[in-house]
Structure 1
Amino acid sequence: MRNSLKCCALIAAAFAGAAHAQELPKTAAFEAFGKGVQIYACKVSGNTYAWALKAPDATLSDAKGKVIGRHFAGPSWQANDGSTVVGASLNASPSPDAGAIPWLVLRAKSHKGSGVMASVQYIVRAHTEGGAAPASGCDAGHAGAEARVPYNAVYLFFRG
């Protein structure tokens, strides 16, 4: 796990860019494995229909498979102790895997509670599988419809 954390710390620094790279700690505080769905809604803008991300809905597990929290709209991550961090995207990079959602670096914009998420300052989403918006099926006959696309990702949480 430590090699994964160090690797992703370097990735995070590269994604965040020079201005933010100096702020990132050199190692992550902890990692979680997300498994769930990315929920998309079929929306119309003018005469164009497109799938738009509504929210993620995933469980977060540790390396042994024990559920330690959840990931949901915000984007938010909540630990089993009730503490929550909400992030704002700093940078995105396409996943090397076709059909996978991008890798992200996010900065904490708010916290709730005094548990494990209270001191998280950065979140990195990497090693994504699946979760990309559907390529078709969003049209006038499906406006308002939802699609739930399975995905997996590794989340790295950095403390300040």
Structure 2
Amino acid sequence: MIKKIVILSVMLQGAAYAETVIPEQIKVPQSYSPILTVHAKGDQIYQCSLNQGEYAWTMLAPDAKLFDEEGKLVGNHSAGPLWEYKEGSRVVGRVVNKIDKAPGKAISWLLVEVVSHKGDGLFSDVSFINRVNTNGGLPPSSGCNANHSGSEKRVAYTADYIFYGK
């Protein structure tokens, strides 16, 4: 019997709730429970770089605002990757696993393990993060060559982030 974890996720548009089934590949360990779900809206920032003789867009950083289920701004998501909650607590994570739920349409869903904490507050107890319900954010499909080396492009994305603690 396969155990499914179902999380309520929030979409800002009309505060519609949808059930999200977390795929096995990105589930957190069973001893952790969700403590916060936020909706992110912002950009994935890419840079045109030369890698192994070929130019390609590489991920630089996210730049997103985090909103609660009422649509109120509660934090930010930026390079690190770093998540900061409104009262100042922060976490930095590293990607443990990912799954492409909408190849060619949206960035991957992720399992992120927190590797550092700063400040006291809600994020002080966070150990894992899921990025789910992604929309957009893929690297640009063109415009990266020697003439564009070092240039940056922002690509709009939305996602839900679920923060887990013990």
Question: How would you bin the TM-score normalised by the shorter chain?
Answer: 0.7 to 0.9
1:153 pairs with 2:159: yes
| Structure-2 separation of matches of 1:28 and 1:157 | 6
Name the CA distance, whole Å, in 1 between partners of 2:26 and 2:159: 19
Query: Normalized against structure 2, the TM-score is what?
Result: 0.85
Selected match of 1:137 from 128, 132, 143: 143
The aligned length equals 153
Q: Which runs of 4+ in 1 moved over 3 A?
A: 20-23
The structure in which a higher percent of residues are strand is 2
Q: Which has the higher helix share?
A: 1
**Residue 133 of structure 2: which of 124, 127, 130 is its match?**
127
Task: Give the whole-Å Cα distance in 2 for the aligned partners of 1:29 and 1:22.
Answer: 14
Aligned partner of 2:111 in structure 1 is 105
Q: Which residue of 1 aligns with 2:63?
A: 57
Two-structure CA RMSD over aligned residues (Å): 2.0
Contact 1:97-1:129 at 8 Å conserved across structures: no
- 1:3, CA displacement in angstroms? 4.7
What secondary structure sits across from 2:150 in the alignment?
coil
The residue number in structure 1 matching 2:8 is: 4
TM-score between the two structures when normalised by the length of structure 1: 0.88
**Contact 2:43/2:64 (CA < 8 Å) preserved in 1?**
yes
Q: CA deviation at 1:136?
A: 1.0
Separation in 1, partners of 2:96, 2:125: 18
- 1:10-52 residue CA offsets vs partner (Å, 9 max, x unmatched): 616x1247xx6344x2x41110000000000000024200100
CA distance in 1, matches of 2:7, 2:100: 22
